[in-house]
Amino acid sequence: MAEQINIDDFLRIDIRTGTILRAEPFPEARKPAIKLWIDFGPELGEKKTSAQITKNYAPDILPGRQVLAVVNFPPRQIGKFMSEVLVLGIDDEHGALALMTPDRPVPNGRRLY
């Protein structure tokens, strides 16, 4: 069973919508990954990250797709690349990540509640 948290714990996690602007292969990563540049709207701007999503996605199909990401984790160095946010995904029946997306277009930077 998952560890219980209270609503204040949940509200500390800042999850926002963003649109992928650019995606590139990340061959230097230890595990197969894709570099992403995501627009989170005027308040947060553009942030970058890497995601281990190569089993379900190719870089050329990602631009324009909206995603959900945690934007208030500290930056993390991954090889020579600085990851600034954590895109959210759920593993499918094969253990490959499926990106979490809004079910309809919403403005970039909107917060999940």
- The CA-to-CA distance between both ends of the chain, in Å, stands at 23
Decide if 107 is inside a domain. no
CATH of the domain at 89: 2.40.50.140
Other C-beta atoms within 10 Å of 43: how many?
10
* 94: in domain: yes
Is 16 part of a structural domain of the chain?
yes
Model confidence, pTM: 0.94
Domain count, the chain: 1
At 113 the pLDDT is 87
Q: Return per-residue pLDDT of the chain as tens, 113 residues.
A: 889 999 999 999 999 999 999 999 999 999 999 999 999 999 999 999 999 999 999 999 999 999 999 999 999 999 899 999 999 999 999 999 999 999 999 999 999 98
- 18, 102 Cβ separation under 8 angstroms: no
- Can you give the residue range of the structural domain that contains 84? 7-99
